Amino acid sequence: MNFWTTLNTRERTLAKLTGGLIGIAILVGIFYRGYDRFTSLDNRIDSLEQEVLNLHHYKAQQEDVETAYRKVVEEHSTKLTMEEIHDGLRREIYRLALRNPDVPYNPQKSIHHNDYMVKIPTLREGILKVEGDGYREYQVRFTIPSCNPLEMLVMTRRLETSGMLLRIDSFDMAREPSGTQLRLTYEVTRTVLDNPESDDFFTSADETSSAEYGQ
């Protein structure tokens, strides 16, 4: 016997509605599963795109680091003599003592005593030490006979941040009992690299510098 024929009109209507609801539920379930799958793929694509961007960013950073490293090695890799190392350090210290050390050097313009923030009467020859394979350290000691506290802070900061990568090994400060001026004594070390990777590529900043500073 056909089951459908045994149902009255009301029961048939309910059966159709129930079947329709079940069909809709199945379709909705399929839709959401497909939507979740699509969303997951979309998120995965976004994640892969971000990974690619990060790789490009890290590569650019690595290139910047390598460029900066090569620049440092280029400036500090040298096979200079002790006299040449001293001369380069002397020029740098006198440059840092200027009122405005960042003014480009002009060989046609003389540097006067008034151009200096602090006066360094003399810069005697220092000590050259071989500390390890491939590098040497050159240490000098110099005195600033008279300066005020602000000039002391500025000069110390300039030495610490010098592009020549100087190291302050010792610092002595004295003041007259009845005065406000300070007497400073510094011991400063410059490190130079003796074994550059390529003699053609890595050149010394001292050999390429045309600036001459002195008192």
CATH code, domain carrying 193: 3.30.70.60
Same domain (yes/no): 50, 97: no
Which pTM was predicted?
0.54
Average pLDDT, the chain: 77
Q: How far apart are CA 215 and CA 93, in angstroms?
A: 11
- Domain match, 83 and 187 both: yes
Task: Mark whether 33 and 85 lie in a shared domain.
Answer: no
> Among 42, 71, 100, where does a domain finish?
71
What is the domain count for the chain? 2
pLDDT band at 4 (very low <50, low <70, confident <90, very high): low
Q: Which of the listed residues 56, 71, 86 is the one where a domain comes to its end?
A: 71
What confidence tens digit (pLDDT) does each residue in 23-64 have? 788 887 787 777 777 777 777 777 877 887 778 777 777 776
Radius of gyration of the chain (CA): 38
Q: Identify whether residues 97 and 196 lie together within a single domain.
A: yes
Q: Is residue 43 part of a domain?
A: yes
Asked if 29 and 110 sit in the same domain, the reply is no
Establish if 213 belongs to a structural domain. Answer: no
Let me know if residue 214 belongs to a domain. no
Q: What angle do CA 118, 122, 126 make, to 5 degrees?
A: 115
Does the pLDDT of residue 208 top 60, yes or no?
no
Q: Please indicate whether residue 119 or residue 46 has the higher confidence score (pLDDT).
A: 119
Give the H or E element holding residue 129: strand 127-132
pLDDT: is 157 or 103 the higher one? 157
Strands 127-132 and 135-147, by their bridges, are antiparallel
Is pLDDT of 205 > 50? no
d(CA 125, CA 207): 19
Helix axes of 149-160 and 82-96: crossing angle, nearest 10 degrees = 140
One domain, residues 83 and 46: no
My answer on whether 106 and 169 are in the same domain is yes
Are 89 and 190 in contact by the 8 Å Cβ rule? The answer is yes
Domain of 10 in residue numbering reads as 4-71
